Amino acid sequence: MKLLFVADPLEKFKTYKDSTFAMMREAASRGHQLLACEPEDLMWQRGGRVGAPLRAFTLTGDAHAWFAPQGDVQLTALADVGAVIMRKDPPFDSEYFYATHLLEQAEREGARVFNSPRALRDHPEKLAILEFPQFIGPTLVTRSEADVKRFHAEHRDIILKPLDGMGGMGIFRVGPDGLNLGSIVETLNKGGAETVMAQRYLTEIVNGDKRILVIGGKPVPFALARIPQGSEIRGNLAVGGKGVAQPLAARDREIAEAIGPVLAARGLLLVGLDVIGDCLTEINVTSPTGFQEITTQSGFDVAKTFVDALEGALAN
């Protein structure tokens, strides 16, 4: 089967930790043909179908020159490949939004796209948690500086974050002294022009910001706890957090088993839930990571589970 990965440039992959690479490696081991393009390559013209110039490639096993092109780049309709796997990293900007519309048109033409383009649009990663208030801590979404100040006065120690950030980008902690609260809000909300999220600071972050992968509605039995290092408050691996695989706690499993089937029914084959302590903090749907770290440390083959689920979805 031909599998198309819509992703960042192959040349930029860090294969020693990249989850998309782990998917590719597992798919290739089963005899699937690998194809790639970038979102900017997608195009549609009246009278035709959504297509892109697709790069066919094989895996070499070399850690550096890890892929080898196969033949010429060919303009191909997405409906003519077996499955399209959308793995473009955030930010979820206007161009990402437009790409989901092109991918949805490709679905109308017969393409099978994972995760569902409509579901990607309907589940912004910071705001998707609002649907599940029973699992989240005190949270505020607003443009108003006054609202944030009232929230801080109530909770004393808070986290502020932009709605379109990734990898811990733009996250601030404001403690009981309120130092720089006004300046931080002005920076994040751009004078009231943009919406921000505030959450009560969860002290359990010292034990890690847990990434729980949910595949086909079912949780992977190990979470990746991303533990802040040094003076950092952020556990994100992108800012130096230490990733430690650990079995799901009872609360982790409760959250995942409640939310997973709901999201899977909407076309989200792969989801990454972020949990600190007992509280859900984010729902990641664009390109959840952690496959290789969990597999290496626990022995549970996440990529195998994902490709199993993909093949199962395609068979239905």
Active-site residues, by number, are 126, 161, 211, 226, 234, 274, 282, 284
CA–CA–CA angle 207, 209, 213 (5° rounding) = 125
List the one residue out of 154, 83, 161, 82 whose CA is nearest residue 126.
161
- Residue 43 — left, alpha, or beta (φ > 0 → left; ψ -120 to 50 → alpha)? beta
Please give the torsion angle defined by the CA atoms of residues 225, 234, 86 and 121, in that order, rounded to the nearest 10 degrees.
120
Please state, as a whole number, how many other Cβ atoms lie within 10 Å of the Cβ of residue 154: 11
Please give the torsion angle defined by the CA atoms of residues 169, 175, 179 and 182, in that order, rounded to the nearest 10 degrees.
60
The answer to whether the CB of 10 falls within 8 A of the CB of 67 is: yes
- Residue 11 — left, alpha, or beta (φ > 0 → left; ψ -120 to 50 → alpha)? alpha
List the one residue out of 121, 114, 119, 139 whose CA is nearest residue 310.
114
